Structure formats: structure tokens, C-alpha cells
Amino acid sequence: MNIDYKNIPICIIGAGAIVRDAHLPAYQIAGFRVKGITNRKKEKAEALASEFGIPAVYESISEMVAAKGNSVVYDFALPASEIMQVLELLPVGATVLIQKPLGENIQEAKAILNLTQEKQMVAGVNFQMRFAPYILEAKRMIANGALGEIADIEVYVNVHTPWSLWDFLFSKPRMEINYHSVHYIDLIRSFIGNPQKIYARTFKHPQSRQLASVRTNIIMDYGDALRATIHTNHNHNYGYEHQQSYLKIEGTNGAIKIGFGVLIDYPRGVPDIFEYVLLNNDETPVWQTKSIAGSWFPHAFIGTMEQMLLTKSGVIARPENSVEDAFETMRCVEAAYQSNESGGFSI
């Protein structure tokens, strides 16, 4: 018999900004039960426990596992380089939500996948953008046939991102695609599946040479009739008036344009915008605006955890954001880096 999935307890591993600003607020909104937290710096875990009413702070992951076993969903938000060592500490058969990306490269992604399978874990990855409320509405409209046949998907990001907020990124040999554009690769996959090929080029910037890359162009090749592109520039440091951050989907019968405002004037952000247009015979197309409750941060984080809770409770057989599906996203990331390194034709 299925149990009430919202009553399944959650234990948090990590107490950084993403836990404070996204995981815990999302779980509060959804009514999920967070029952424990641990962090290398215990005082950070204690501060979040006090702020969000978490009843138990554990000295270590091992102490948490000894207390909770397989009765909880383990949710950890740590750098990709620490995923394997955390998984090693979790029990066989554990249900676990892993922070993206799934490793620093395809070899690490494969090792993580293998370990979760060897330990018979129900494992998901926090590729949460596909669960943002405006993305779910776009998928509903597409599923209902409102847009007709999908012909074009474009992600365009031209913003100024203060990378100094995430010190660990400055030491990463792979940065922009693996830690940012990976969201959009996963998002496009969630709409139209795996591409046939990937073409990509990722760039440094004269003002951000310490970082491996801060700008990227990606073509996800689905054949001659469907275009899918990603354009990111994180160094538009000229005020926020001309910053842009959107997803545009065009079909044979209509189009959707979603402005995700969280990236503009970051971290303050601007309101999201959901616009759509549907063709009606020979009438002049008229764009309309739809009000969508919730945003990428923190509301999309409800979806990734909900998939884990639903799976653990027996309501669904496998989470949409399973580690197996996430591995397909990482295959695309690897293809993008391989394309970046192989270069184009000389002229």
C-alpha cells in the first residue's frame, strides 16, 4: 500500500547557500518534512536548523546514517568532486537526491552511476529547471497540442553573473557548461529527448581569465527540421537594462517565450514573464501573457525532491530525474566539451 509521500522524512547533507536559499524554502512551501541536517562546519548546520525548525543536527554523515538508516531521503548539496565519498557512506538501498552536476566529467558520472546501481539505490539528480512552474506550464501546453509540431527551441542568456559567490568554481577545469549550461542541456532533453549530435564552443573573457569559461554556444542537433540552441554570456557587465534570460519554443501553430528573471541583475532578479501566441487561421498573431505562480528558485526544487518521495512511497516506479536520465545529460555535456576541443575547419 502506498504511504503519504509528504510524511517521508528528509535529511540534508550540506548547509551552503543553495540549501538555505532553495532546498529548505522549497520544502517548506511544499510541506515536506526535513528531520535532520549535517555539515562539515557544524555551526552552519545549527544555524539552518534554528532558522527552518529542523529537529536534529548530526556531527557527521555516519552519525546521521546510524540514526536514520533507510527511513529517509538523503538530500546532499555538495561539489561534484564529493559525490562519490558521500555515496560510499550511505546505506545499501538508500534513496538519495544528488546535487548537479553528476561529476566533473563523464568518467566520474559513469562511476557515480555504477556505484548507485551496485548499492541498489534509488538515486536522482537535482536538475531542477525542468520542474520550474513555467516549464511545467509550457509542457502542458505542448502536450495538449497547442503549439503543433515543435520546430525551434532556443535558450538565450546575456547577463552579468557574480562568480565570486562560488569560490570553488575558480579551480574547476570545466566550468560554464558543466555548472551552468548543463541546466539548459537537461531542460531541452526534457522536452525533446537526446540529440543526434552536439556542436559547441565555450569561451573565457578578458575580465574573468581565472575561470575556465564564462560564455558558451551550443547546437543540439535533432536533424534538419528542429533547431535547438543555447547561447550564454555571463559577462554583460553594463547594467541590467539589456540583460536577457529566456527560453523560446516555436511550433507550427504557436510559440512560447519564458523570461526567467532570477539571472538578471543577480542575485536580486526581476519578475519572470510567460508569453505565448497561437495561430488562428488568417488572423494577426497576438501575444498574450499568462500569470504563473512560482519561479525557478526556489519552487523548481520542489519537483526534484517530490520525484524522490513519490518513488520511495511507491506512487511511481522511477523518478523522472533519475541518475540514469542525468547520465544522458552528462553524455551531452561531454560531447559539448569534445566538440569544443576538436574545433572547426580552417579557412
Residues 298-331 pLDDT 10s = 999 999 999 999 999 999 999 999 999 999 999 9
Average pLDDT over residues 237-265: 96
pLDDT, the chain, mean: 96
Confidence label for 262 from pLDDT (cuts 50, 70 and 90): very high
Read off the amino acid at residue 40: R
Average pLDDT over residues 267-285: 94
pLDDT above 80 for 1: no
Average pLDDT over residues 135-157: 98
Confidence label for 277 from pLDDT (cuts 50, 70 and 90): very high
Q: What is the pLDDT of residue 345?
A: 83
Residues 64-106 pLDDT 10s = 999 999 999 999 999 899 999 999 999 999 999 999 999 999 9
> Any idea what DSSP says for residue 235?
B
Q: Which triple of cell numbers denotes residue 227? A: 533547431
CA distances from residue 37 to 20, 30, 290, 334 in whole angstroms, order as listed: 12, 18, 38, 33
Burial of 275 (0-12, 13-18, 19+ CB in 10 A): middle
Residues 111-129 pLDDT 10s = 999 999 999 999 999 999 9
pLDDT above 90 for 57: yes
What percent of the chain shows pLDDT beyond 90?
94
Q: What is the pLDDT of residue 220?
A: 98
Q: Considering only residues 267 and 144, tell me which one the structure prediction assigns the higher pLDDT.
A: 144
Residues 160-204 pLDDT 10s = 999 999 999 999 999 999 999 999 999 999 999 999 999 999 999
Q: What is the pLDDT of residue 281?
A: 86
DSSP E strand stretches across the chain: 9-13, 33-38, 57-58, 73-76, 95-98, 122-125, 150-158, 197-203, 215-221, 227-233, 244-251, 254-259, 273-278, 288-289
Answer whether the bond into residue 162 is a cis peptide, omega within 30°: no
Burial of 233 (0-12, 13-18, 19+ CB in 10 A): buried
* Length of the chain (residues): 347
Q: What is the pLDDT of residue 46?
A: 98
pLDDT above 90 for 346: no
* Contact (Cβ atoms closer than 8 angstroms) between residue 28 and residue 22: no
* Contact (Cβ atoms closer than 8 angstroms) between residue 176 and residue 214: yes
**Its pTM surpasses 0.85:** yes
Q: Which triple of cell numbers denotes residue 301? A: 526544487
Q: What is the pLDDT of residue 195?
A: 98
What count of Cα atoms within 13 Å lies in the side-chain half-sphere of residue 253? 10
User: Per DSSP, what are the bridge partners of residue 232?
Assistant: 157, 216
Confidence label for 2 from pLDDT (cuts 50, 70 and 90): low
Tell which residue, 272, 232, 225, 287, has the closest CA to residue 251: 225
Domains in the chain, ordered, with CATH? 5-128+299-316 (3.40.50.720), 130-289 (3.30.360.10)
pLDDT above 70 for 253: yes
Count Cβ atoms below 10 Å from residue 81 Cβ, excluding itself: 13
